[in-house]
Structure 1
Amino acid sequence: MKKKYLIGNWKMYKTVQEAVVFMQQLLPQLEAIRPLAICDTALALYIAPSFLHLPAIAALLGDQKSIQLLAQNCHHEAEGAFTGEVSAAMLASIGVSGVLIGHSERRNYQKEDHPLLAKKIKRVLEAGMQPFFCCGESLAARRSGNHKAMVQQQLQESLVDLTPKEIETLVIAYEPVWAIGTGQVATMEEITEMHTFIRGILSNHYGVGNVPILYGGSCNPQNAAAIFGCADVAGGLIGGASLEADQFVKMIMALLA
């Protein structure tokens, strides 16, 4: 059985207190799932909260590995006079397992470009964490038929300095921008086509065949089973549907179905 991944990206939601309550609700449910022998081997679960939440959740998790912490971002330099920023090494020092890189909201609002994202990936790897690289096309690119070219450029220009061995450590999350938080979901054919295309780029350009490719974009308990059943979909990067513990557990069960 190939490993499956599920990431709850909380974005800028929840106070620290609300985050603690969520985890207190979630962890017993994960313990109930554990007898199925899934959490530590066949399924990798992650929560990506605000920077502020990370220490409190890390303290709750302790040594258990049923769910791991991701950061939503890190700075592209190792350290320096960058007020308000957080380095990869800082995140690794509190037990964070990986970092989301290149989410469409940061590309859009913070104007993060491919060279910057390439530097961030390097910093995450240097800190001993796993990069979770996001890619996906805009609505304009989809409508014009340039969606594949846009995703290929994102991959090639952001992974340009990586060796095949480094690329093998990545997780790729395909997120069509027009489907994020809109309620619109790519069709199963569109999802399968793009995941197959991304797989081809990784294989043909880098000689890498085992990188997990996740889907993100208005995925919820109602459509999750169908999406997770598509070829080359190794799991999901979940936004709104990850904000309630019961909903998140439903997504886990859909992934295991």
Structure 2
Amino acid sequence: MKNIFINLKRFEVARSLGGLCDVDSPEKWITGLMGECIKLGLGTVADTQLSFLLPEALIIPAVNILKKFPMEETIAISIGCQGVHREDIKIGGNFGAFTTTLPATAAKAIGCEWAMIGHSEERRNMQSIMEAGLHKSKDSYADIVSDTVNQLMNKEVLCALNTGLKVLYCVGETAEEKGNGSFEEQMPQIKAVLKKQLEIGLTGAGCELNNNNVVIGYEPIWAIGPGKTPPDKEYIAYVSRLIKDTVKELYGFEIPVVYGGGLKEENAAMIASIDTIDGGLVALTRFSGQIGFYMEDLKKIIEKYIQVNEKKGG
């Protein structure tokens, strides 16, 4: 099974307000998008799961529009949230005092099947808050802040899994963590950073790792953004193998790894050709002209990925 995740970030904001959406109504946009997805046949792609990771306000209309189609036309589509809180609603415990946050139980109740945890934007936000609170130099507390972020991610992972959500757990190294020098010289630092994120972040996940309930999303944080050079095939193959081997070493299970640096039409064939990669994470589908997310472009990305994957027998 290949996993294609679509992170729609805040793409529902209209262009007139500074966003990327061609429709003024977020609800109209997401219902139209999901309807188009099904009509393009993406709900029936063999051996592939498409998981849309949505802002909270878009989840219910997305779930409802899927219910209007026959199940056989939507079998490959699932809906997820972009994160859950590190505490949760419990019978006999906190009944729902979670202002501004999304508990895993609430996400599950409105129709989510997946939760994305540890996306680079979430990690960066948490890290910046902690560094501001320390009133010390960033370098002095880098390890403490990094470990604390990983521990918070772990609480979120466990809340999601305990509620019955599946988890896309994102890991990746920054430019500072990768360090300077040749790729060979950087390998030890990359391994140390990713091992810590996996070891701390997945603590207590147990047999969930063996039930396809956790997928690792690898984000080369140092390469994400305008003007950045993405990693080549050798780099991605090394890191994805490293992640698989590390999880096997720490927890005894094989685990799927998807490329989270941005699966797009230009790199879909290359990503699909890597044996240790099991899918990808899509955000924008068009990076020139009228940039944004377009379902017809998503179809092209998926078709390119599947075409190469089928040739290699994946």
For normalisation by structure 2, the TM-score amounts to: 0.75
Question: What is the rounded CA distance, in whole Å, between the counterparts of 2:51 and 2:75 in structure 1?
Answer: 10
* 2:3 maps to which of 2, 5, 12: 5
* 1:216 maps to which of 260, 273, 292: 260
Residue identity opposite 2:208 in structure 1: E
Query: % of aligned pairs identical?
Result: 26
Question: What is the rounded CA distance, in whole Å, between the counterparts of 1:16 and 1:181 in structure 2?
Answer: 28
Question: What is the rounded CA distance, in whole Å, between the counterparts of 2:122 and 2:4 in structure 1?
Answer: 21
Written as runs of structure 1 = structure 2, the 5 A alignment for 1:181-196 is: 181-182=225-226, 184-196=229-241
Name 1:56's counterpart in structure 2. Answer: 61
Name 2:84's counterpart in structure 1. Answer: 74
Name 1:147's counterpart in structure 2. Answer: 190
Q: Residue 26 in 1 paired to residue 37 in 2?
A: yes
Name 2:202's counterpart in structure 1. Answer: 159
* 1:106 maps to which of 103, 115, 122: 122
Q: After superposition, what is the alpha-carbon deviation per residue over 1:148-179, rounded to whole angstroms, capped at 9, x for unaligned?
A: 2111111111112222x122221000011122
Runs of 4+ in structure 1 over 4 Å off: none
Written as runs of structure 1 = structure 2, the 5 A alignment for 1:112-151 is: 113-144=149-180, 145=186, 146-151=189-194
Residue identity opposite 2:175 in structure 1: L
Q: Residue 43 in 1 paired to residue 48 in 2?
A: yes
Name 1:254's counterpart in structure 2. Answer: 304
Question: What is the rounded CA distance, in whole Å, between the counterparts of 1:59 and 1:29 in structure 2?
Answer: 18
Name 2:142's counterpart in structure 1. Answer: none
Residue identity opposite 1:189 in structure 2: E
Superposed displacement of residue 189, structure 1? 0.2
CA RMSD of aligned residues (A): 1.7
- Cα 1:105–1:225 change in 2 (3 A) is same
Superposed displacement of residue 147, structure 1? 1.7
For normalisation by structure 1, the TM-score amounts to: 0.90
Q: Structure 1: any 5+ residue segments left out of the alignment?
A: none
Give aligned pairs, total.
Answer: 247
Question: What is the rounded CA distance, in whole Å, between the counterparts of 2:243 and 2:76 in structure 1?
Answer: 29
Q: Which has the larger radius of gyration?
A: 2
Question: What is the rounded CA distance, in whole Å, between the counterparts of 1:235 and 1:159 in structure 2?
Answer: 20
Name 2:100's counterpart in structure 1. Answer: 84
Name 1:244's counterpart in structure 2. Answer: 294
